[in-house]
Structure 1
Amino acid sequence: MNPIYSLLSLIFWFIFFFLFLMPALRRYSLNKAREALISTLEEKRKSRVITLIHRQESVGFFGIPFIRYINIEDSEQVLRAIRLTPPDMPIDLIIHTPGGLALAATQIANALVRHKGPVRVIIPHYAMSGGTLIALAADEIIMDPNAVLGPVDPQLQGIPAASILKVLEKKELKDIEDHTLIMADVAQKAIDQMVNYVVWLLMENGMEEEKAKAIAQELATGKYTHDFPLGVDKLRELGLNVSTEVPEEVYQLMELYPQPMGAQVPSVQYIPVPYRTEKKL
């Protein structure tokens, strides 16, 4: 066999395996960096740090992106982390999520509100829908000044439950299909259940019943669209315990959950170093 051909073949296979393994090596490196930063944060805050971060991540040889939401696997892992935490140890749960399965979010919220030690939910950017429900279980919500939560009104097959009930107000009963009537019945139950659950969740953390009911009515009955952003000022106005003292390590941790880079030019770009204004003498 031609030695040059053998050398080229060896180089080709080396490059092929390197490209094939590169995504796995990159994920391993990111995981180790995340674990090191979480350990640093735990030592600083004397707490158990748990992350629930949903970003698009690229996987496989072609770096195909996929979108993640709160699911049962997430609730299993969070509940396991809580079980491994001493009852009196504080928990810091870092959330970045568009929401997800109500059952999974409810399980996480239940476990957090029953934890005897202080529970703090940290939101560097957003925690919508199920993420907001989890945040309501915390003793303290720590948000970036520009971060947002969202309403927790139930959705049925992608339709707001409150909007389904509006049909009963707009039409006479004889003009409404049986399927719509069934959906409206389920919608009313879903709203009532969510309102009662939010009230219970807030009262478990020591909130007065009337205040808890007012917050539940605001967030769970369809007053807003499901993606409406609720900022720090609005949440404080509602009576929630919200702080804006997000630890710097949390922002550093978010940098270790990069969005997948495609062939397109990035839509946001800047010089990634902190700037300081020079002091004038």
Structure 2
Amino acid sequence: MDFLALFWLFIIISSIQPLIRKKMLDSARIKLLELIEKKRGSRVIALIHRQETLSMLGFPLMKYIDINDSEQILRAIKLTDKDVPIDIILHTPGGLVLATEQIANALKKHHAKVTVFIPHYAMSGGTMIALAADEIVMDENAVLGPLDPQIGTKPAASILSILNKKPIDKIDDETLILADVSQKAINQVKNVILRLIEGKINNAEEVAEKLSSGIWTHDYPITVDEAINLGLPVSTEMPNEVYQLMALYPQTAQRRPSVEYIPLPRTKGERTSEE
């Protein structure tokens, strides 16, 4: 076989390798989802966002909750009998308000128990989806995030604060318009939160105010302890299968990994190969 033939064989193998790897990952994910469904007697839906890379070009793509996600999840809920519990495995930085509200409202209306599993984080819109659940299962180090609206790249609460810091005649028209929109956005989000949590926790009004009013920065991590103190229905009984599923959604490959370790359990008193 000459060099040119070897070159084209290498190109062909390099081209189809990502497709083969993707098919293998997809198959492994489906098998694990089926295992969890059989074990828990539920419909399992995974909403997992990683930074992915285009197969051929290697460009990173940031993933977030979008309309396609809401369409798929609403379809999955429609295909689920009203008496069948729903389990959502959630890992997301947030996303579009419209898509997030559609998902949360659909989960809220489901007759059977809804459980959200958060192995690492569910920020912003992810937190809104979690609030729609009857139970939120978090890893002990996982976090939620505030739901304060963002107007463009600016926090709505910060825009509103300008009205209290400057005379009205010193504020330009555009800022006044943004402040009006900000107040409406905060009120809307607060009402959505109230609708999702009313009847599930006693201090619903207080929780809705804290999550929507901007007392924290938008990326503030709400820990398990803080979530419990807020009165949210949180537990830390995370099934091991959820972690196994997360491993089947690998982060973008890098030339040099940032974190390395031997992927085996390590117990106290265990002898190493050097001893």
Question: TM-score normalised by the shorter chain: which range applies?
Answer: over 0.9
Partner of 1:55: helix, strand, or coil?
coil
- Note the aligned Cα RMSD (angstroms): 1.2
Partner of 2:203: helix, strand, or coil?
helix
The CA distance in 2 between the partners of 1:156 and 1:184, in whole Å, is 9
Q: Matched residues, percent identical?
A: 54
For these two proteins, the number of residue pairs brought into alignment is 270
Where does residue 125 of structure 1 map in the other structure?
Answer: 120
Using the TM superposition, give the Cα deviation of residue 201 of structure 1 relative to its aligned residue in structure 2, in angstroms. 0.9
Residue 178 (structure 1) aligned with residue 173 (structure 2): yes
Q: How does 1:62-101 map to 2 (within 5 A)?
A: 62-101=57-96
Using the TM superposition, give the Cα deviation of residue 150 of structure 1 relative to its aligned residue in structure 2, in angstroms. 0.4
Where does residue 273 of structure 2 map in the other structure?
Answer: none
The CA distance in 1 between the partners of 2:9 and 2:257, in whole Å, is 31
The CA distance in 1 between the partners of 2:118 and 2:254, in whole Å, is 27
Unaligned runs of at least 5 residues, structure 2: 271-275
Where does residue 262 of structure 2 map in the other structure?
Answer: 271
Using the TM superposition, give the Cα deviation of residue 144 of structure 1 relative to its aligned residue in structure 2, in angstroms. 0.1
Residue 242 (structure 1) aligned with residue 242 (structure 2): no
Greater alpha carbon shift after TM alignment, 144-153 vs 266-275: 266-275
Where does residue 56 of structure 2 map in the other structure?
Answer: 61
Q: After superposition, what is the alpha-carbon deviation per residue over 1:240-270, rounded to whole angstroms, capped at 9, x for unaligned?
A: 100101110000010011111222x222111
Question: Runs ≥4 in structure 1, deviation > 4 angstroms?
Answer: none
Tell me the TM-score normalized by structure 1: 0.93
Partner of 1:12: helix, strand, or coil?
helix
Where does residue 251 of structure 2 map in the other structure?
Answer: 259
Matching residue within 37, 40, 44 for 1:42: 37
Matching residue within 118, 124, 134 for 2:129: 134
The CA distance in 2 between the partners of 1:260 and 1:8, in whole Å, is 32
Residue 230 (structure 1) aligned with residue 222 (structure 2): yes
Q: After superposition, what is the alpha-carbon deviation per residue over 1:124-169, rounded to whole angstroms, capped at 9, x for unaligned?
A: 0000000000000000000000000000010000111000001000
Where does residue 207 of structure 1 map in the other structure?
Answer: 200
Aligned letter for 1:269?
E
Residue 189 (structure 1) aligned with residue 180 (structure 2): no
The CA distance in 2 between the partners of 1:87 and 1:174, in whole Å, is 56
